[in-house]
Structure 1
């Protein structure tokens, strides 16, 4: 590459080699040549985004033309709605963006000096995302011309998109569209081969489920450079030779002394009640805790109480698949008001607007609760996608899933065990992958002796559907209560720790008492409530 190149001059630049203020020249294929020291280089300055208003050609005067120097045909430009026209008296390229629903949104304008201007609203989607719903493979590039370059090699037959604002904004668009990305079996990241591009590719790959992200390697800086050099077949090979992303972290045992010789910092989030806290020693990030009991014992009430208390400090994703979001929201408001849910619903009009608004703001409207608007069965893959989005994109640290049985209810009895095994494995993997804490509600099968609804003891062998529930959980908590007992005894709930991978302490752990006047669960036998805060368990 030299001053005799057939590429077009763009503007003068300072030379980093000889120090000349303007002898260095930038060409439209991104190379530089200094006429002072005769040094050839590559222009790697980050893109500048401008938002100033300038006279711009209307869409009717923009034309779909071949990008001859880029070896991109008119058909490819037309398919991707990539046109040419004038902006502020200068020739410019126009990339039409769309919303996820396919509605036209903002237009990204590329100027000759590699500056970019947005006209209209940035929709937060990938370029050309609206053209594809799902498939075996998706290729994501770092720029619009890179997407066109790869699409040119396969005549726009395979899903190919680009990120809207360069490597520095890559993770943002990935987080916004995780659910859409989950529709593809493989996501090939064909980013620029420079340091920012490689870093962005790794940061985006880690947002995707294990086994989905693949990273392509090129001999040139980007797909456009490869195509311009007449190596279209290399782009195809690079996609199919892309390596599955595996994060670093394999370490030799002999190198771990500095790690194990430091005092561990194990922090636990305390449960609201001593009867649940004393043996479990709290809930830790990266743990999967299963709560189980017979029908109508109070599993959902226990989960709501825990979520309500912990939401004061933590962002929580609450997936209640057996009730509407309205009921869930009113349940949290009732806890704040200290009244049973039925009383709030029956006498809603007797509460002042100020009281109701305060209850809303201090509970479900606190900004720390994300609810899932769905009722009934849900395919496990869709559920995992929703939960992962709540964790990765919405920053939820604790997940409540109530309950497992309804997730697999679409399957026949003969397939229920397999469905539970698959779902539990995915949930366990998700907890490990994200480091979140998860509380899962599971049902019991019928007891051989005293019924669970009559106070019968709970055991791990009674978990309904599969042994994988107990095997893959870190902690299992059983709730026991006799619904038909006389007097206040029917309001007593026995806490039994069935499994405890953390400390190994199991067995009876105390009682909770349901107060029918307030709709709240409290410790029994004068056991003090526990403050909801981190406890140093080192």
Structure 2
């Protein structure tokens, strides 16, 4: 509430004009109703042609201390290196309340009404008078737009920066320090948008740095800059004879860039590091390895084929090579089989026999020796459960494999069974979209290779995939995110009913790293050893046999 003695007319600021009372060239403000108020000497001139004393009381809200009645004066503040002139300009004065001497900071509303005050005693105890809202900016009444404005945490730093600039350029401060930064900046969005640049010169301690980041996020887009000081704050710099460093910090303030946006100029070290990012070799035809340049950490590799056409065998064979031959820790979630079956198949690969299908052909001693030889290094970790009904629980277990077990490759066989186990699988596409996004982010964030096996859609007509149908990237079952979010997509084609049922053609459907696609070589499956053996580079069968002559072939 404003005193009834004061001008109650709603008015808006027009411009700064000289003050006849104190001689200030820019602290006096002229409003649309003709009234004037000097924020330096607090002289008030009524509007609408009415006569009044130039020392008439300014508009003051209830609860605020009045300058004259509080023995107010503008003093030099030698302990802070501040002069009385800058204090007068900003309305930072010394006065008494109940016999106690305070430094008093005046806070004004948009129409020039004194609405709140911060009082500080000699022991640095603070109290508030009037309505000290979090939206108030100390010194705001002096400035209305311009090239740049500096915002500090407190009044002393505000006065410091203003004094260093000769009181000529906009400087304001927060009402409650760093804790009020985000809310105060957001509340003053339209006011701050009148300036081309917003320089946040907060304290250099951890709360100040964090507050600067938060405040910058709510500033008008593209205008926020963050100043860096050599000492804790602007006043400390002034007292250490480093006033020039404060000025340099204003001119050298760095533009704020929100998370998720980076400047190319800052990426030199990261680019150099990226050049030597570890490659994860593939057990595959030479043509495929050349077309993809193998796989890389941070990528999502998707493998697909028709049912029983080689995708799981290809991935299992690579898993064996990764953890046993390459010494890479691998985590696997083979959701269509028990962990015992996964281990049996890996032992069979090591022994070059299909152990799970014919265990009696291997002695117990041979099994034990093979088991110890490939698993003694403890580099393989298995997901011992059926598919989770909530994908976050699955991700949490994969995260454990990476963080606790040091896995650099994670294998998920297959994504469709994960989706089918979820409670909200009524919309398969959206569920796959969400899961693929999480898996891709997981691979990037942890710098691991994520290998995902995916099924194909049944063709509406024509030759089925299991009989040698050419696989296209649009054949992936479930969602477009499968092809969009994958870095590399490898398809295995096999004609189970043709002349060469154990010949597998590999096709690169996508490789973001190289851009190459197309036929990527052949491998020959051995029903005796369970291995896919790469055929020589350039080899192709004389006949694909895809015209349909029946011949017995193993299901793999």
> TM-score, length-normalised on structure 2?
0.47
Bigger radius of gyration among the two: 2
Higher relative contact order (CA 8 A, sep 6+): 1
> TM-score, length-normalised on structure 1?
0.49
